[in-house]
Chain A
Amino acid sequence: MPADGGIGAPNKRREDVRFLTGKGRYTDDINMRGQVYAAFLRSNVAHGRITSIDTSAAADMPGVIRVFTGADFEGIGGLPCGWQVTDRFGEVMQEPAHPVLAQGKVRHVGDPIAAVVAATAEQARDAVEAIEVEIEELPAVVDMKAALEEGAPKVHDDLTSNLCYDWGFVEENREAVNKAFEEAAHVTTLELRNQRLVANPMEPRVAIGDYAAHNDESTLYTTSQNPHVIRLLMGAFVLGIPEHKLRVVAPDVGGGFGSKIFHYAEEAFCTFAAKQIKRPVKWTSSRSEAFMTDAHGRDHVTKIELALDGDNNFAALRTETYANMGAYLSTFAPSVPTWLHGTLMAGNYRTPLIYVNVKAVFTNTVPVDAYRGAGRPEATFQLERVIDKAARELGVDPIALRRQNFITEFPYATPVAVEYDTGDYVATMDKLEEIADLAGFEKRLEESKARGKLRGLGVNCYIEACGIAPSHLVGQLGARAGLYESATVRVNATGGLVVMTGSHSHGQGHETAFPQVVAEMIGIDPNMIEIVHGDTANTPMGMGTYGSRSLAVGGSAIVRATEKIINKAKKIAAHLMEASEGDIELKDGQFTVAGTDKSVAWGDVTLAAYVPHNYPLEDIEPGLEETAFYDPNNFTYPAGAYACEVEVDPDTGKVTIERFAAADDFGNIVNPMIVSGQVHGGLGQGIGQALLEQAVYDENGQLLTGSYMDYAMPRADDVPFFAIDHSCATPCTHNPLGVKGCGEAGAIGSPPSVVNAVVDALQRAGKPVTHIDMPLSPARVWEAMNQ
């Protein structure tokens, strides 16, 4: 086992030392001189018209500096949406305004109405209580299908209905798919819900706005996965601050899982208010506020149908999904049920005809956007559940039915617009069967029976599209931004390097993994390399971290910038050794001249670059710093096979995860320890979705799960040790590292195997149960067993 090695070494994480000793620097740990505090008055009703706001009593409260309402934001831009979907009739989606503070109407519980800035956080919260607001409550729409009925209350008065878009994919295939269903030997139909979840990173969101009068520069410290994107969105679309007068800093961030991608009202408010009152303004979310303001995830209701021919080959797939957008369009919300979902409906299988219909709906609920996996867990869940149901209807082994329909030749162009470059689904399934010890299942089944428990086995596959770029492709799909990544590599005179990346680490270990890439290329100790990220003042334009893209896109940008460094360093080395540039080789940090014993060390060359006493000044500039922007030409396609064994208590319906195995193909791997950790975490979240988690609204739009008292987070005793393997690697063909991305796999792949396992356990016990909606709480399982 190499220690502090290059690519492939399980280097221990250098960032751990500060986190383990309490020296991390999260946004809430930052306190500015003269700082004051913001607190928000939030709507306690789901839908209503604001008839009056009286802030006079609040303004007189101790410590209060100023009270802001929607009136202060008239004429200021709303929060923009970064993705525009075109519907199946060629029309663009309906896109409502999203004000920073409510303008006349409130549209979900938690919608901000007013804000107090005061000397202390307690004084700000006290004064919020003293704001007198009158709201004429309006009927709320919560259920998506009800929201689309004629005469349903409209979330946005200026839109024609609550339908954001009605998307068909691939629309041209619609009739051919319908015809295939008419001719099918067997059709399996399943209606299911992918329930609403709350991302719940352990660090609540925080924003600190600061304004420097001496240079008219605004700074926002924020808990973000992508500070440059926030700078662009907030500067250009909300506050009208040019990017060179706006700095966004996202320091240590305590998890994101998607929910910290988006631009939030509190960020714009604190930046705006700081300039107004000329004091730094800080807002720290409580967990209760997080539940009603952080973008939620999932919330799809789907009917999926799978058509098979007489030989059990998949012939066609048809889905109809209702996707909840909530009350406003969060930054990337429209892309999740469409391009991150429809394009993955082929899964790991040869299905020649696919048609996906998605109706995105506005309701009086918190906006819904990307949450770990974003669209791909929804696609995987439907597909892998319907395949399991089909196998049971046809009386064939669910693994055999999958194997029979696997894609086996690559590249493979799916009927849903993407081309898988590499994969080996047979090998990952073989590996799964080995690490899950499926051969031993029958014995364990008997042991469970002896204990009076119902045991079940669930298996599924998954595929995902990661490394979100290709800008040319996402542009066609409706993205309003490019999705490349950038890197600047700065070599110091004494040979150490600083790598500035637009990727952002909020738990992924970039500070450890990225240096391994550069160290491998130059042949030096990774500890000579420092990673800088999370500050628009220090790093080139970046698109941030989400969609398992950091290594595939950000890491590739670092490779490109390092290649430029090496090319220039070779020129300098050639000069120093009076040799031809083409003869220079770099290995283990030494430049040599091929076929000779001449050599100069990495440090000699870097010093020459900055002390150019003997330097080819007529040919190359002094200095050693290079920037690269990398934009791949395809997504990456990680894939895998997962197996779950559960025990169900027949008396209570309680499900226990007894074994869980995951075989993944992530392509090449830079730090296997970090990759394993990413899979573990994804599995924890996926099992949380399958068994525990759900955001629940009542029919009036009140959020019933607004704290950890009501929203069941997975705890240490809800999960087992996981058996995982990522040795079946088929490297990605179109990025220089051959990597595919691993951050979301566990969350995408695990929910169907848990549900498949519970259905298997109940069917083995003779119960005619074909599906239970997540979360599989004891009550739901018991009810299904005792129908």
Chain B
Amino acid sequence: MAQVSMTVNGMRVSGEVEGRTLLSTFLRDTLELTGTHVGCDTGQCGACTIHVDGVSVKSCNMFALEAEGAEVTTIEGMANADGSLGTIQQAFQDHHGLQCGFCTPGMVMAAAALLKENPKPSEAEIRTYLSGNLCRCTGYHNIVKAILAASGQDVAKEFAA
């Protein structure tokens, strides 16, 4: 076992881990930040997407020890300071961009990384960027719509679109 320390959502944290402990496991089991989900074991589904030092990563593809000293942001750190939903989170609710909610934390983290890189992405750019995040509920329709809206772009108001 080894000691690992990092900053998660602005809080200094540390814990004992094995060399093989995944960052996703450390977040979920040691820190009890269960908003980060694990949906596969091959790095394909993206439910475990978080930010490490400002970069979007799949936390199941990283050992906890590799995050020593890093600044980590998870879905639990995405709301506004007053606890209200952040812009992307609010857009997901407004446009029904989630159903079962399991892929949602990864989607929101991926969307945040996209909008940081590309503040006004096109529909095609959003779809391409999200190809590492699987959703089985929404057919992606309202996720893409939510991200367009979160980037301040016009989205048709009707529901049946």
Which single member of B42, B85, B103, B144 contacts A17 (CB below 8 Å)?
Answer: B85
Query: Is there contact, CB below 8 Å, between B144 and A13?
Result: no
Q: Does B137 contact A (CB under 8 A)?
A: yes
Q: Does A244 contact B (CB under 8 A)?
A: no
* Distance of A259 from chain B, by nearest CB (Å): 10
Q: Does B116 contact A (CB under 8 A)?
A: no
User: When each residue 36-63 of chain B gets 1 if its CB lies under 8 Å from chain A and 0 otherwise, what string results?
Assistant: 1111111011010000000000000000
Q: Which residue of A lies closest to B76 (CB)?
A: A22
User: When each residue 29-47 of chain A gets 1 if its CB lies under 8 Å from chain B and 0 otherwise, what string results?
Assistant: 1010000000000000000
Query: Is there contact, CB below 8 Å, between A252 and B101?
Result: yes
Q: B42 contacts which chain A residues (CB < 8 A)?
A: 287, 707-709
Q: B126 contacts which chain A residues (CB < 8 A)?
A: 716
Query: Is there contact, CB below 8 Å, between B128 and A717?
Result: yes
Given A202-B47, A673-B159 in contact, is the A680-B139 Cβ separation under 8 Å? yes
Query: Is there contact, CB below 8 Å, between B45 and A676?
Result: no
Q: B159 contacts which chain A residues (CB < 8 A)?
A: 10, 672-673, 676
Q: A717 contacts which chain B residues (CB < 8 A)?
A: 124, 127-128, 130-131
Give A480 to B29 CA distance when docked, in angstroms: 41
Interface size on A, residues (CB 8 A): 65
Give A622 to B103 CA distance when docked, in angstroms: 46
Which single member of A16, A255, A683 contacts B139 (CB below 8 Å)?
Answer: A683
User: When each residue 673-693 of chain A gets 1 if its CB lies under 8 Å from chain B and 0 otherwise, what string results?
Assistant: 110110011111101000000
Given A286-B41, A677-B96, A709-B42 in contact, is the A26-B102 Cβ separation under 8 Å? yes
Q: A10 contacts which chain B residues (CB < 8 A)?
A: 159
Query: Is there contact, CB below 8 Å, between B40 and A708?
Result: yes
Q: Which residue of B lies closest to A203 (CB)?
A: B102
Q: Which residue of B lies closest to A682 (CB)?
A: B139
Interface size on B, residues (CB 8 A): 60
For window 104-131 of B, CB contacts with A under 8 Å fall at 104-105, 108, 123-124, 126-128, 130-131
Query: Is there contact, CB below 8 Å, between A680 and B47?
Result: no
Give A707 to B38 CA distance when docked, in angstroms: 14
Given A22-B74, A672-B159, A725-B160 in contact, is the A202-B93 Cβ separation under 8 Å? no
The tally of CB-CB contacts under 8 A between chains A and B is: 200
Give A673 to B128 CA distance when docked, in angstroms: 25
Q: Does A20 contact B (CB under 8 A)?
A: yes
Q: Which residue of A lies closest to B129 (CB)?
A: A716
Query: Is there contact, CB below 8 Å, between A20 and B134?
Result: no
Give A616 to B60 CA distance when docked, in angstroms: 63
For window 601-652 of A, CB contacts with B under 8 Å fall at none
Give A713 to B94 CA distance when docked, in angstroms: 26
Give A348 to B161 CA distance when docked, in angstroms: 25
Which single member of A19, A202, A257 contacts B135 (CB below 8 Å)?
Answer: A202
For window 5-50 of B, CB contacts with A under 8 Å fall at 18, 20, 28-29, 33-42, 44-45, 47
Q: Which residue of B lies closest to A683 (CB)?
A: B139
Q: Does A731 contact B (CB under 8 A)?
A: no
User: When each residue 59-76 of chain B gets 1 if its CB lies under 8 Å from chain A and 0 otherwise, what string results?
Assistant: 000000000000000111
Q: Does A72 contact B (CB under 8 A)?
A: no
Give A708 to B76 CA distance when docked, in angstroms: 27
Q: Does A739 contact B (CB under 8 A)?
A: no
Q: Does B153 contact A (CB under 8 A)?
A: no
Q: Does B2 contact A (CB under 8 A)?
A: no
Query: Is there contact, CB below 8 Å, between B137 and A255?
Result: yes
Which single member of A13, A673, A719, A723 contacts B140 (CB below 8 Å)?
Answer: A719
Q: B33 contacts which chain A residues (CB < 8 A)?
A: 22
Give A19 to B135 CA distance when docked, in angstroms: 14
Give A17 to B93 CA distance when docked, in angstroms: 8
Which are the 4 A-B pairs with shortest beta-carbon distances? Answer: A22-B35, A684-B139, A254-B102, A19-B101
Which residues from chain B sit less than 8 Å from chain A, CB to CB? 18, 20, 28-29, 33-42, 44-45, 47, 74-76, 78-79, 85, 89, 92-94, 96, 98-105, 108, 123-124, 126-128, 130-131, 133-145, 159-161
Which residues from chain A sit less than 8 Å from chain B, CB to CB? 10, 12-13, 15-26, 28-29, 31, 122, 200-204, 252-255, 257, 286-288, 506-509, 672-674, 676-677, 680-685, 687, 707-709, 713-717, 719, 721-727, 746
A-B contact pairs, 17 of them (CB 8 A): A20-B101, A23-B35, A201-B100, A202-B37, A202-B47, A202-B136, A202-B137, A203-B100, A287-B41, A287-B45, A507-B101, A672-B159, A673-B96, A674-B96, A684-B136, A684-B141, A717-B131
- 13 further contact pairs, Cβ within 8 A, besides A20-B108, A707-B41, A716-B140: A20-B92, A22-B34, A26-B102, A202-B47, A204-B39, A287-B40, A507-B99, A676-B96, A677-B96, A677-B142, A681-B138, A707-B40, A709-B44
